[in-house]
Amino acid sequence: MARLTGRPPGPAMPKRRQLRSFDLKRMEGFEGLIGVDEVGRGALAGPVVAAAVLVTRAFLEGRWAAAKAGRVNDSKLLAPAEREALWGEFEALAAQGQIHANFGSASVEEIEAHNILGATKLAMRRALEGIYPAAAFRRSEEPDLFSSLQERESFVPAVSCRIIVDGLPLRGFPYPHQAVVKGDSRSLCIAMASIIAKVQRDRMMAELDARHPGYGFARHKGYGTDEHRDAVVRLGRSPIHREMFLRRLMAQRADPDQMDFLPGR
């Protein structure tokens, strides 16, 4: 399609400026922005892990974001070494008070009990609770001079932070939030949360690999690769496999007798 202005297109905005610009716009009217993302929702085994990262305007306009935010992206698009290096930098930023970050997880037992969506919300809530409790976001009227002393002393103002979550809106979630589709490739703080959640879950899966050898958890991180599927058929279900997910997997295989391994060993 021809351009109506007749001017050649300008250079694309650098990735780091796109991510920072997105967050700065979402932060308007607030003192901070919290990005939330999860990892492991589609895996056949292991926990689901979520992370939350709080950034401020000072951070987004500061030296680190200006110089190094271009290295941040959706964790799935980064090499493991890049994610580990950024994790170390995020730790340093948190230690300096430039950002606040936390992660939470939901176990296989909680996934089975609450389904994967419920467990994902549980992990996200735990990640956010490490930054602010949900009650801090409840809006309330500030007591006036004629209120009782108890009312005035117990008043806690609503936190001036907006929460943005990767994906679709979460029904019944205790934190007010906005959903951002493909947020891990659009928002700097969501992308940072994505990296933290991914690194943490990868480390957890490496530990689980040592406890449950033979499945290759350290390599495929519990996702349904051919190697993983073959190992499940050969060895049976481990304690960290998600039974419902495995039933769906095995229902697609040609031999229904392979369903026998599911009750566990």
- Break the chain into its structural domains and give their ranges: 15-210
Fold classification of 15-210 (topology level): Nucleotidyltransferase; domain 5 (3.30.420)
> Quick one: pLDDT at residue 12?
43
User: Which of 12-26, 64-78, 96-110, 135-149 has the weakest average pLDDT?
Assistant: 135-149
Mark 181-197 as b/e (b = at least 16 C-beta within 10 Å): eebbbbbbbbbbbbbbb
Task: Identify the CA nearest to 228 among candidates 9, 43, 70, 57.
Answer: 43
d(CA 122, CA 111): 10
Residue 20 contacts residue 65 (beta carbons within 8 Å): yes
Mean pLDDT of the chain: 86
Output phi, psi for 62, to 5 deg: -85, -175
Q: Flag whether pLDDT at 93 surpasses 90.
A: yes
> Quick one: pLDDT at residue 135?
87
Q: What is the pTM of this model?
A: 0.84
Q: Flag whether pLDDT at 94 surpasses 50.
A: yes
User: Which of 28-37, 191-200, 255-264 has the weakest average pLDDT?
Assistant: 255-264
The CA-based dihedral angle spanning residues 33, 39, 41, 43, taken in that order and rounded to the nearest 10 degrees: 180
> Quick one: pLDDT at residue 139?
63
> Quick one: pLDDT at residue 123?
98
